[in-house]
Structure 1
Amino acid sequence: MDLGILDTVSLAATLVFALPVALLGVERLLAGQTLVGGGFLAVGVLMVVLQEWLTTPTDVPAEAAQRVVGRVAESDDEE
């Protein structure tokens, strides 16, 4: 998976919100509440997975900027 700077920052921001939810799920699983714990764990995982797979309206300008930079700044291999 090749992540740029913006992708890495976006993933870190998502993990800030997803990790506490997933840890709560693990805690509930260890406490014996399998339904609640599994639900929280699934929500935490889905937060990260959906953020990586879905394209949101804020992703469109970032993708356009990456395409422009890719065309303007050619690497040594392309020359």
Structure 2
Amino acid sequence: MKLGILDTVSLAATLVFALPIGLLGIERFIAGQTLLGGAFVAIAVLMIFLREWLTTPEDIPASAAKKVVGTVAKTDDDKDE
């Protein structure tokens, strides 16, 4: 997975919020509150993974542009076919 500058900044911002929640979950887990600790760790992990998997409004124009460019502009390899 190749991250651009904006993707890296977005991931860092997500980690700023997810890491304290994850650390709280680990702390609660060690303290004996396994259900609460596990829930906090799960929330932190979901925050990071959902950021990668969900489509945002910024992703829609980019994916549409890739489809249009792929059909309109042919590469040299495509011209031979």
SS of residue matched to 1:32:
coil
Matches within 5 A, 1:56-71: 56-60=56-60, 63=62
User: 5+ residue gaps in structure 1?
Assistant: 68-79
Aligned to 2:12: 12
Q: Distance in 1 between matches of 2:9 and 2:2?
A: 13
Task: Select the structure of larger CA radius of gyration.
Answer: 2
- Aligned length, in residue pairs: 65
Instruction: Quote how far apart the aligned CAs of 1:31 are.
Output: 0.3
Larger RCO (CA within 8 A; separation ≥ 6): 1
Q: CA deviation digits over 1:43-72, x for unaligned, max 9?
A: 0000000001101124445x36x96xxxxx
Matched, 1:31 2:69: no
TM-score by length of 1: 0.74
AA partner of residue 51 (structure 1): R
Runs of 4 or more, structure 1, over 3 Å off, are 58-61
User: 5+ residue gaps in structure 2?
Assistant: 67-81
